[in-house]
Amino acid sequence: MSCVLTVDVGSTFTKGALLALEGPPDQAAFRILSRASTPTTVDHLARGFQEVCESLKAAGPGGEIPVYFSSSAKGGLAIAALGIVPELTLKSARLTALSAGGRVTSVHAYKLSSRDVRELESQRPDILLLAGGTDGGNETYVRHNARVLSACEGLREGTTVVYAGNQVLTDEVVELFTQAGFDVRSAPNILPEMDRLCPEGARERIREVFLQRIVKGKGLDEIVARTGRDPNPTPYAVLQLVEAISRQAPEFGEFLLVDMGGATTDVYSCCHDERGAERVVYRGLPEPRIKRTVEGDLGMRVSSASAARAAEADLQPEEAEALAGYVGQLAQNPGLLASTPAQQECDRWLAGACFKQALLRHAGTHRRVFTAAGETFVQTGKDLRPVSRVIGSGGYLSQDAGFEPGRALRGATGDQAETLPLVPQNFDYLRDEGCLLPLLGNLVCDHEGPAVRTALSCLVATSTTA
């Protein structure tokens, strides 16, 4: 029996599973032998990791077992994205940072101001992703921003610059930051042409920074030494699983994965950005087929106050008052588990708000305008209406079989009457009942087929929205 051990070091809990690989190569899948979790030991991440591993190995066959792991502990990888035009290079930089598993702390367009610099120095991000200009295009903005940033003494220690802009300026920008004492890496332009997004090179540089600097800074180096294996940022592991599903199981169709946690709600979409519809004018870059967004103000515990504010519009006054009282309890005790019917109802309101707002922000929009040719729509972002399946994962969505995504999306009409959100309309809702998807994402690198088969087999059909 071939076994693997997979662990995720989260911000709140460290979770793991011992899995047995079974079946012929073209049908192989994993069977769960044991599960374990413990509160993440923030002061020394390796201690909690070792507790989980020892508990899991006790249920195994003995001998050496390969260990795979990911981590989002201590807030993950903080990235500030800088570009020129918000709908072009800045959007490209943000998409690249998120697809690498990062947490975008701020975005900055055009020329950096003194206020922008003060914000960056107060945030002290792990990475400055500096983009701007197509190859052979604009040089003025990138040169200005590079000079301003290289003079920031508050960013020299602990912040790495990844330059992925106009390649004409690569040598100049790298030399400028190097002479100023920065750790700087260059990557191919993320937007070499106006309609072509190429994030792969910058993603690889971001991963290098995670492995070479962030792992040590976050206290994961001891785990690397014990396992002999590098970790992934947890969101990147999930993204790899989404990509693997699209390759290994194209019959699964276009889908969304919503990963709702205590502090954030991540949305992953696997959906073509179809263009060419009649009476539709497209604005901005074509969206990547596989896309990730993360909402740092939408969560079930740490971010419950802002999630509650988002929920108020869909609640009666007495319900909003009850939710405010519950959020006050969560502020005092973020680990509170809803035990009464009233508390459970409040959790449903919070989950509904996180789900709805995260999808509205991930999806594109149609803005209705009238021209000489009649009614026309201006589309910004990706049209998610063709999505046929939505997967719910994370603590709450994995556990609550009664969550109704269709109800949560009811009345999602956007901020203005003439703006129509392009959210899924007719879809099957599937639940990651065992909260296994992040752990399976760790295994895609060596066991792509079995990881995908296991992931799809562990999904539980909950409802159909039509």
The Cα 37–Cα 41 span in angstroms is 12
Where helices occur in 312-340 by DSSP H, the ranges are: 317-332
156 and 180 co-located in one domain: yes
455 and 325 co-located in one domain: yes
- Write down which residue in 73, 107, 123 finishes a domain: 73
CA distances from residue 122 to 80, 153, 159 in whole angstroms, order as listed = 12, 12, 12
Q: Is residue 221 part of a domain?
A: no
State which residues form the domain around 408.
Answer: 235-465
Strands 389-393, 255-260: pairing is parallel
199 and 242 co-located in one domain: no
The Cα 206–Cα 129 span in angstroms is 9
Non-local (6+) Cβ contacts of 292 within 8 A are 98, 99, 235, 239, 266, 267, 268, 269
Q: Is residue 225 part of a domain?
A: no
285 and 319 co-located in one domain: yes
Count the Cβ atoms, other than its own, within 10 Å of residue 247: 11
DSSP state of 243: H
Q: Is residue 224 part of a domain?
A: no
pLDDT in tens, the chain (466 residues): 799 999 998 877 889 999 999 999 999 999 999 999 988 887 888 889 999 999 999 888 888 899 999 988 666 688 999 999 887 878 888 889 888 888 899 999 999 999 999 999 999 999 999 999 999 998 999 999 999 999 998 999 889 999 999 999 999 999 999 999 999 999 999 999 987 889 999 999 998 888 877 677 666 888 988 888 888 888 899 999 999 999 999 999 999 999 998 888 999 999 988 877 888 888 878 888 999 998 888 989 888 999 999 999 889 999 999 999 999 999 888 878 899 999 999 999 999 999 999 999 999 988 888 887 788 888 888 999 999 999 999 889 999 989 999 889 887 755 456 788 999 989 999 999 989 999 999 999 999 999 999 999 999 998 777 5
Q: Is residue 222 part of a domain?
A: no
The Cα 124–Cα 159 span in angstroms is 7
Non-local (6+) Cβ contacts of 153 within 8 A are none
The Cα 146–Cα 173 span in angstroms is 6
DSSP state of 155: G
pLDDT attached to residue 280: 87
Q: Is residue 284 part of a domain?
A: yes
395 and 461 co-located in one domain: yes
Total structural domains in the chain? Answer: 3
- Write down which residue in 45, 73, 101 finishes a domain: 73
42 and 168 co-located in one domain: no
Q: Is residue 344 part of a domain?
A: yes
274 and 336 co-located in one domain: yes
CB of 65 closer than 8 Å to CB of 7: no
- Here the tokens at position 314 are 């869909």
Q: Is residue 227 part of a domain?
A: no
Question: At 160, which helix (H) or strand (E)?
Answer: strand 160-163
The Cα 270–Cα 253 span in angstroms is 8
- Write down which residue in 53, 73, 93 finishes a domain: 73
Helix axis angle for 341-362 and 317-332, nearest 10°, is: 100
292 and 371 co-located in one domain: yes
> Can you tell me whether residue 424 is helix, strand or coil?
coil
377 and 427 co-located in one domain: yes
CATH of residue 417's domain is: 3.30.420
pLDDT attached to residue 81: 95
CATH of residue 158's domain is: 3.40.50.280
291 and 319 co-located in one domain: yes
308 and 438 co-located in one domain: yes
One-letter amino acid identity for 30?
F
CATH of residue 11's domain is: 3.30.420.40
The Cα 265–Cα 233 span in angstroms is 15
261 and 202 co-located in one domain: no
Residues 271-290: b if buried by 16+ CB within 10 A, e if exposed: bebeeeeeeeebeebebbeb
The Cα 373–Cα 359 span in angstroms is 32
Non-local (6+) Cβ contacts of 86 within 8 A are 109
Residues pairing with 293 in the sheet: 267
- Here the tokens at position 79 are 């990235």
The Cα 239–Cα 266 span in angstroms is 10
Count the Cβ atoms, other than its own, within 10 Å of residue 398: 20
Q: Is residue 54 part of a domain?
A: yes
Predicted TM-score of the model (pTM): 0.87
Count the Cβ atoms, other than its own, within 10 Å of residue 374: 7
